[in-house]
Amino acid sequence: MTAPDLSIRRQGGGFTLLELLVSVGVIIVFISLSLVMTGKMRESSAQSKCASQMRQLHVAVMQHALDHNGYLIPSDSGSNPKNGMRANIRWYQRIWPGVLKYASPLTDYIEGEALGRISVCPNNAEQFTGHTVDGIILKSQFGWPYAVNSVVIVSSARSDDGRFVRLLDLKNPAQTPMMSDSRKGSEWGQLWEGSFEPHPNQSRIGTPHGGKTNVVWMDGHISTMTREELLSHIVEMAAR
């Protein structure tokens, strides 16, 4: 018995088995390339949206500072704030009916729900029903918020007089990071150490954009870089 000749068309103008296999292979390759391109476009869109959100947050932070004698908002107000803020307020916190009664002062510049949403990178967005997630006091309904540089958006524990950092204290805003993408879950944290490296909490800097993080600097410009590049910059700044 001889093998069939796959190169000869069948009667009636149909395709041979070989031609069908080639066609199917071409279609599979085309679909694979389309999926890759779609994934890249989706990631590019998420990165651009994230950068836009950071710019909006920077504007709100600057507006708040200008309205408060140049003092930057803290990352949290602590249990006994001395600057007129309510206790235990996070910078991204909004009034959340049935969960949180008080909001961040930034809601004077960005509507509450909008603040909650844009304080989270699209790649870190989730929906939560309570202010605590897996034992972490998160106070965010919409996901894992950006992480801030604790040197400029300081915690209450870092401020001796409760007045926090003034814009006039910044020697080089264009070289001072304000916030970055964060990580998720147990690796999330609301701030990281921005004055020296290494520090354990710098692992909180997330890299959701193809292994890179978006960073908004105190002058408002955005960079996309690896965590190592950002940490290298911190070392350079500390040496100056």
Q: What is the pLDDT of residue 144?
A: 98
Q: What is the pLDDT of residue 78?
A: 80
| Total residue count of the chain as it appears in this document | 240
CA 234 to chain centre: 19
d(CA 22, CA 187): 48
* 103 domain residue, yes or no: yes
* 43 domain residue, yes or no: no
| pLDDT tens for the chain, residues 1 to 240 | 555 554 445 555 566 877 777 777 777 776 766 665 556 566 678 999 999 999 999 999 999 999 988 989 999 888 777 666 788 899 999 999 999 999 999 999 999 999 999 999 999 999 999 999 999 999 999 999 999 999 899 887 665 555 578 899 898 999 999 999 999 999 999 999 988 878 999 999 999 999 999 999 999 999 999 999 999 988 776 555
Count of the separate structural domains present in the chain = 1
* 32 domain residue, yes or no: no
pTM equals: 0.81
* 28 domain residue, yes or no: no
Q: What is the pLDDT of residue 62?
A: 96
* 72 domain residue, yes or no: yes
Burial 35-58 (b: 16+ CB within 10 A, else e): eeeeeeeeeeebbeebbebbebbb
Contacts with 232 (C-beta within 8 Å, 6 or more apart), sequence order: 197
Q: What is the domain extent for residue 143?
A: 55-239
Q: What is the pLDDT of residue 6?
A: 47
* 117 domain residue, yes or no: yes
* 44 domain residue, yes or no: no
